């Protein structure tokens, strides 16, 4: 496994070593000891989540605050998504900056999203199964979100907006300038 830090401090792209032969492939999708060593700190994941979505479904940008903030290790099991994170750490030199990466069943990349980041994705393939580990349990009262089309973020979601399928909940999320952290 190789780990590369993105332009956003503490956010890492994780690429597993994939072994292929005539039978197919094998890879270790997670190893606690290797992962902790490569990112330079201990992370204990306590919850796994999975979603199934069709092309154009945009989920996000979500985050939890305070004692319920979550770090995530995300990956696409089937299909292709554009995964996007936004640094919401007020004290960070990259506050309000974003990073995006295509995660797919073919490239098997994962993204480690530290606490203090908003996270979302859009499905680029006909369907996708998206899976992620969280280091803290979900708490509805601590959930916040950020509007996916906030012009100050300048996120290119790689699909025309006419193809977006967005929940009512995500359509009413505030823009960055209206969020209190």
For residue 48, the domain's CATH number is 2.60.120.10
Q: What is the pLDDT of residue 180?
A: 81
Q: Please choose, from the candidates 148, 24, 131, the residue with its C-alpha nearest in 3D space to the C-alpha of residue 75.
A: 131
Structural domain span for residue 50: 2-15+44-178
Retrieve residue 131's tokens: 């899976």
- 9 in a structural domain: yes
E-strand spans in 6-164? Answer: 12-15, 18-21, 24-27, 47-54, 57-64, 72-78, 80-87, 98-104, 110-113, 117-123, 127-134, 143-145
Q: What integer pLDDT is reported at residue 67 of this predicted model?
A: 96
Two tokens at 41?
């700190």
CB atoms within 10 A of CB 150: 20
Report, as ranges of residue numbers, the positions in the chain whose pLDDT lies below 50. none
Angle at 78 between CA 24 and CA 96, to 5 degrees: 130
Does residue 26 form part of some domain?
no
> Could you tell me if residue 31 is inside a domain?
no
The Cα angle at residue 82 between residues 130 and 148, in degrees rounded to 5? 100
pLDDT at 87 (0 to 100) = 97
Residue 98 falls within a domain, yes or no? yes
Report the catalytic residues.
Answer: 62, 132
Q: Does the residue 39 lie in any domain?
A: no
| Phi, psi torsion values for 38, nearest 5 degrees | -75, -30
Residues 6+ apart with CB under 8 A from 66: 142
For residue 71, tell me if it sits in a domain: yes
User: What is the model's pLDDT at position 160?
Assistant: 97
pTM (global) more than 0.75: yes
**Amino acid 181: pLDDT:** 74
DSSP letter, residue 16: -
What is the domain count for the chain?
1
User: 142 - beta bridge partners?
Assistant: none
* Within-domain flag for 130: yes
The pLDDT tens digits of the residues spanning 50-75 come to 999 999 999 999 999 999 999 999 99
36 occurs within a structural domain: no
């Amino acid at each position: 496994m190789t780990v590369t830090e993105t332009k956003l401090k503490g956010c890492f792209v994780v690429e597993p070593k994939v072994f292929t032969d005539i039978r197919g492939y094998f890879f270790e999708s997670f190893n606690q000891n290797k992962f902790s060593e490569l990112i330079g700190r201990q992370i204990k994941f306590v919850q796994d989540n999975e979603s199934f979505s069709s092309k154009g479904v945009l989920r996000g940008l979500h985050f939890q605050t305070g004692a319920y903030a979550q770090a995530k290790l995300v990956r696409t099991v089937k299909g292709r998504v554009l995964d996007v994170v936004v640094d919401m750490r007020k004290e960070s030199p990259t506050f309000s900056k974003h990073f995006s990466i295509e995660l797919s069943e073919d490239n098997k990349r994962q993204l480690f999203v530290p606490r203090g980041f908003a996270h979302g994705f859009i499905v680029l393939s006909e369907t996708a199964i998206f899976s992620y580990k969280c280091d803290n349990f979900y708490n509805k009262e601590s959930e916040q979100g950020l509007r996916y089309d906030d012009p100050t973020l300048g996120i290119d979601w790689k699909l025309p907006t006419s193809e977006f399928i967005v929940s009512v909940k995500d359509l009413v999320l505030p823009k960055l300038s209206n969020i209190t952290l």
